[in-house]
Amino acid sequence: MEQWGATVARSVILKGFLWFLLPPSYKDLQAAARHGPVIILIASQYSCSTIIVPTSGKPRHVPLPSVTLADLKDRFASAIWHPSVMGTKGTCLEDLYICSYTPTLSALVRSRPMMKKRVPPSFMAIRQTQPVSGKGKALLAVDSEIKLVRQLVPVMTNRTTISGDAVTPAGALQASQENT
């Protein structure tokens, strides 16, 4: 445990690692609500509630005591696609809110600058027909599968396929960093 503490202490003095292993501050997370409040839905078999992150001020917890997880799944799915469920005419949930399935507010905050860059989409495929260890059978359908997938990827997308000697953990990591 002493070694762990020493390693963490050395990490926080490195540039960009001041908050290493610490949760982000609320002020940093609130940047996700810069263009409007963020509503986080918390649902389990035990209870349902929301946390509202406003553009300014403190977050607000709103319990939903009369909503069950099963009800929520049905209501939410219906509200997205059927405006009459919400009691509005011609408007559905997606017309009123931007639904996002992001794992954390930090991920949402980090994604915003990327959206402004207008980077053309890119796609990467790894073509590996032989098992790395030499054990097992050759994968005979790889070429036809890659051809099919490439047909499904939009034409304006930059496409990268790594194969042969480039199929290494380092090669895959590099290709992953170069593609969206």
Return the residue matching tokens 């992150």: 53
Q: Is 40 in contact with 46 (CB distance < 8 Å)? A: no
Q: Is 126 in contact with 163 (CB distance < 8 Å)? A: yes
Any idea where the domains of the chain sit in the sequence? 26-115, 122-178
Burial class (CB in 10 A: 0-12, 13-18, 19+), 82: exposed
pLDDT in tens, the chain (180 residues): 788 888 878 877 777 777 777 778 888 888 888 888 888 888 888 988 989 999 999 999 999 888 888 887 777 666 655 555 555 665 655 666 666 677 788 887 877 766 666 667 788 888 887 776 667 788 888 888 888 888 888 888 888 888 888 888 888 888 888 887
- Please give the model's pTM, rounded to 2 decimal places: 0.49
Q: How far apart are CA 100 and CA 82, in angstroms?
A: 18
Q: Which residues contact 94 (CB under 8 A, 6 or more apart)?
A: 80
